[in-house]
Structure formats: C-alpha cells, structure tokens
Chain A
Amino acid sequence: DQQVKQNSPSLSVQEGRISILNCDYTNSMFDYFLWYKKYPAEGPTFLISISSIKDKNEDGRFTVFLNKSAKHLSLHIVPSQPGDSAVYFCAASGASNTGKLIFGQGTTLQVKP
C-alpha cells in the first residue's frame, strides 16, 4: 500500500519556465510534508517543508502548496534552472514530524537549457 504517491516518474521543462511536481497521499494522519532533491550518488537533500496547518510555504524559487481536502501537495520551481535537474522525492510524516518519513517514488526532473 503506497501511502505517498508521485504519479509522474519524469518531467521535462525548459529553462526559465515553471516546474510543477505533484504528490498525493492517502493517510489523513500525516501532518508534515517535505520535498527532497537527490542527485546521482548522493543522499537526498532537504528542499522545503510544510505543516498541515498551512497551505503554502515559500523559499526563494521553491513553493510548496498543500491541499488537505484533496490530500495533494505540489512543488513549484520558478524559474527552473538546469542545475535543478535531479530526482525529487515527496515525503510525509505523522505525529508532528517524528522523523519517520514515508517517501513517494520520486520524479525525475530535467530542465533543458
């Protein structure tokens, strides 16, 4: 049972345009959500997070939106840069972020120059 799903295995966008990565979850007990970026041969790097009491969190070019009623979150990257090309993982945690993360399958983003 996949509690966190990233239904798009890959996404390709042009440099300067917006990248939108999507994530759905099934467990209503999740109350903290994170996005990680992963380059080959490296561990995941934390990007941005959002608590369930918010519907938006912004950090520079990265914005995460949370729609609790739809159990859906998305990561927007504006403007996209070639260095953003990586695998992006959505993760969820319950009980106010205990550190036990449930990850989605990942979406490979390619930003073309």
Chain B
Amino acid sequence: SAVISQKPSRDICQRGTSLTIQCQVDSQVTMMFWYRQQPGQSLTLIATANQGSEATYESGFVIDKFPISRPNLTFSTLTVSNMSPEDSSIYLCSARLGGEQYFGPGTRLTVT
C-alpha cells in the first residue's frame, strides 16, 4: 500500500492569490493524480502528473489555472492560481501503486 500526505491540510485564502499544495508519497510511483471535490459534489479529476512529462489536464481544467509539478517519483505539487470563491474545494492527491489507487487526506481550501 501507499501512504500519501498533503500540505497544507487546510487554508483560507484571499481572492486573487495563489496556493501551492504539496503531495508526498511514501513509495515511488509513476502515476500521480490531482482531484477536486467541490462542496456537495463528487471527486473530479483535474490532471494526471507523470514524472518526466507534462501533466495531462482534463476537460475544463487548464495549466495556467492549475500548474502542476512532478520533480520526482514521490512528490508533486498543485498550484491553484488567481483564486476565486468558486475554487473553494477539497483538493486530493492520488497515486497508483500495485494496481490500486490511493488518496491523500485532502487539502480543504476556502477562498474569501
């Protein structure tokens, strides 16, 4: 199994600012993913981050708004840029290991 940690666990940010969320996996993984869970909604995939290549974004998500880094096989960051209240969500990091997919505890972001 994989243990995934995220920082920060929660934050309250002002409109127009940016926040970078860090994700650390205790094992080396090829595939990492970033999901978003808006209030009362399901989890939605933002992008897939593979080490050594550009992140692949899902429809409705763009790199300028959600830049992602993947510097090595255990770490990734997601930045939420130029935030608005609509970005208030839980952001979850996920990693695929041994055929199964594991999730971090999430970062609860509130934009005021």
Contact = CB atoms under 8 A, between A and B. Distances in A.
How large, as a class, is the contact surface on chain B? Answer: 20 to 34
A41 B102 contact: no
A38 to B, nearest CB: 9
A99 B48 contact: yes
B92 A43 contact: yes
Given A99-B31, A99-B96, A42 B42 contact: no
A45 B102 CA distance: 7
A105 interface: yes
Interface stretch (B12-20, B70-78, B103-111): B103-111
B112 to A, nearest CB: 21
A46 B102 CA distance: 7
B99 interface: yes
B43 A99 contact: no
Interface string A1-29: 00010000000000000000000000000
B110 to A, nearest CB: 14
B33 A103 contact: no
A97 interface: yes
A49 B104 CA distance: 19
B22 to A, nearest CB: 15
Contact of B42 (A49, A99, A100, A105): A105
A41 B45 CA distance: 19
Q: Which 10 A-B pairs have the closest CB atoms?
A: A43-B103, A99-B96, A103-B43, A103-B42, A105-B42, A44-B103, A43-B105, A99-B31, A43-B104, A42-B105
